[in-house]
Structure 1
Amino acid sequence: MSEVSFPLPDRRRPEPLWYQVEQAIRAIIKSGEWATGTQIPAEDRLCSLLGVSRITLRHALRNLEEHGLLRREHGRGTFVRSTTLVAGTRELTSFTQEMSHVGIVAGSRLLDCSLTTANAATAAALDIEEGDPVVRIRRLRLGNDAPIGIQTAQLSAARAPGFLDSGSLQGSLYEALEKRYGIVPIEATEVYRVAAIGPDDAELLDLAPGSPAFVVERITTDERGPFEFTVSIMRGDRYEIRSTLRAGRTISGDRP
């Protein structure tokens, strides 16, 4: 790997040094100078190239690892990882926003956008009657032009009248709902499980049938209640769940 040239952090800027280092490394990865699987320079070399302390560098590297851009292998070093969306404690965002947050260019291919009726599961999720009309939007979601997952969103037709008249859906669904109907999500509940990918979905995701995937069910609400029920099938090799666990505190008080 040829050595790259970094913009040196500027201590006169208001942004912390670790943030400037993080952005500099993000830019190198995004440009393709460090391809997937590339081992990045050792910490002491990066500190020398960037003119920062090891503590500052480690702060930046830890953030990049948590966002799925790097992976550390004990005894080997740190490597640029493949396009991966890391899910953990986060704000309520759309797929497009999540991808942008980790420096991945989001894309999608519309597979279906139609009016159908709610089955029992959809009706329960959206708090409507079984058989009520719903808008069904099925999309292949991409990250840097590589397939990451298949998302099937269902919206109560009563909450989004005339949605199909707007033509093909482009960009963020949440942005479209806010712009057209004033729907602003405030909370979502997600349930994750693991399943094997069926033949049709496997072809879309460029995987062998039976490959493992995360199945994610999301119910999203605004101030009026649930408006979206989405089932996502996410590639197991490009979608990662990471949680931080903390020990509970013992609260002192009167003891018998």
Structure 2
Amino acid sequence: MTKTTPAVDLDRRRPEPLWHQAERAIRSRIESGEWPPASQIPAEDRLCDLLGVSRITVRHALKNLEAQGLLRREHGRGTFVRSATVVAGARGLTSFTEEMRALGVSVGSLVLERARVPASTLVAAALEIDEGEEVFLIRRLRIGNDAPVGIQNAHLRADRVPGLFDEELAEGSLYLHLKRRFGIEPVEATELYRVGAVPAEEAKLLGVPEGSPGFIVERVTVDARGPFEFTSSIMRGDRYEIRSTLRL
């Protein structure tokens, strides 16, 4: 069990709901490092005493923080601070950079490789070109909240992005660069997710043991003229989640 600072009463005179104040107070202790990743936070009754609120208020706050990926509950054990996990909910057609910023995650990128390569059978079929035709490969380590999240290998049709490697690529959104430089605006993308083991080379870059579970993601992105990008990614299974709400 983690140590805690003295109790702090929330301000009932503020228009902000008590559950939101409680949520913010708990988040503050996590972000300050008082309750570090993987540590167990105090039980509900102790949180009630610390924050000066009812059990219902505490449960509301904990439920929200769990939905945001900050906490995890283990039946019979208690509630624990999660490692820095990116939880993606309902998603639109956005780049990784835009998606992470929308989730409040500080995003970074490290270009591992830029090369002209022949299209494999898989890449050629996705981009609707001949096998062996030249494509541009951009391999990047994607970072969220200063920790590795995944590795993305973007294959771009060379005929759609002439001169791409003649200039320095910014660390931000590739889609934004493609729009400004080549007038390419994505209109649709198809993604396939499956679970697989992280290979040795990628495991070293992601900071996980070889064979750790991860998301293997394939994405084909098209604009008004057709497919221009095929991206294959390996995302850390302990740092990236997708959460969906299903309704009738």
Q: Same fold (TM over 0.5)?
A: yes
- Asked if structure 2 preserves the Cα contact closer than 8 Å seen for 1:142 and 1:148, the reply is yes
Give the aligned partner of residue 254 of structure 1. Answer: none
Give the aligned partner of residue 148 of structure 1. Answer: 149
Alignment partners' CA distance in 1, 2:98 and 2:91: 11
Give the aligned partner of residue 252 of structure 1. Answer: none
Alignment partners' CA distance in 2, 1:23 and 1:178: 38
Alignment partners' CA distance in 2, 1:218 and 1:63: 30
Cα distance, 1:43–1:194 mapped onto 2, change above 3 Å: same
Alignment partners' CA distance in 1, 2:158 and 2:12: 51
Q: CA deviation at 1:219?
A: 1.4
Alignment partners' CA distance in 1, 2:144 and 2:9: 25
Give the aligned partner of residue 205 of structure 1. Answer: 206
Query: Are residue 121 (structure 1) and residue 130 (structure 2) matched?
Result: no
Q: CA deviation at 1:233?
A: 0.9
Deviations along 1:73-99, one digit per CA (max 9) or x if unpaired, are 223332210022234432333222333
- Asked if structure 2 preserves the Cα contact closer than 8 Å seen for 1:10 and 1:17, the reply is no
Query: Are residue 172 (structure 1) and residue 173 (structure 2) matched?
Result: yes
Alignment partners' CA distance in 2, 1:123 and 1:111: 22
For residues 3-22 of structure 1, the aligned pairs below 5 Å read 3=5, 8=11, 11-12=14-15, 22=23
Q: CA deviation at 1:158?
A: 2.5
For residues 77-156 of structure 1, the aligned pairs below 5 Å read 77-156=78-157
Bigger Cα displacement from structure 2, 158-167 vs 226-235: 158-167
Give the aligned partner of residue 2 of structure 1. Answer: 4
Fraction of identical pairs, as percent: 61
- Asked if structure 2 preserves the Cα contact closer than 8 Å seen for 1:135 and 1:155, the reply is yes
TM-score (norm 1): 0.78
Give the count of matched residue pairs. 245
Cα distance, 1:56–1:233 mapped onto 2, change above 3 Å: same
Cα distance, 1:125–1:64 mapped onto 2, change above 3 Å: farther
Alignment partners' CA distance in 1, 2:56 and 2:28: 21
Alignment partners' CA distance in 2, 1:27 and 1:184: 39
Bigger Cα displacement from structure 2, 113-122 vs 53-62: 53-62
Q: CA deviation at 1:10?
A: 7.2
Letter of the structure 2 residue corresponding to residue 228 of structure 1: E
Partner of 2:186, secondary structure, is coil
- Asked if structure 1 preserves the Cα contact closer than 8 Å seen for 2:10 and 2:21, the reply is no
Q: CA deviation at 1:121?
A: 1.5
- Asked if structure 1 preserves the Cα contact closer than 8 Å seen for 2:10 and 2:52, the reply is no
- Structure 1 spans left out of the alignment, 5+ residues: 249-256
Cα distance, 1:43–1:140 mapped onto 2, change above 3 Å: same
Deviations along 1:12-71, one digit per CA (max 9) or x if unpaired, are 46xx76556545544443343331023334445545665666555544433332232111
Cα distance, 1:33–1:103 mapped onto 2, change above 3 Å: farther
- Asked if structure 2 preserves the Cα contact closer than 8 Å seen for 1:194 and 1:212, the reply is yes
Alignment partners' CA distance in 2, 1:223 and 1:60: 44
Letter of the structure 1 residue corresponding to residue 221 of structure 2: T
Bigger Cα displacement from structure 2, 19-28 vs 31-40: 19-28
- Structure 2 spans left out of the alignment, 5+ residues: none
Q: CA deviation at 1:166?
A: 2.0
Alignment partners' CA distance in 2, 1:157 and 1:67: 39
Q: CA deviation at 1:215?
A: 0.7
Alignment partners' CA distance in 2, 1:155 and 1:7: 53
Q: CA deviation at 1:183?
A: 2.9
- Asked if structure 2 preserves the Cα contact closer than 8 Å seen for 1:9 and 1:21, the reply is no
TM-score (norm 2): 0.80
Q: CA deviation at 1:157?
A: 2.2
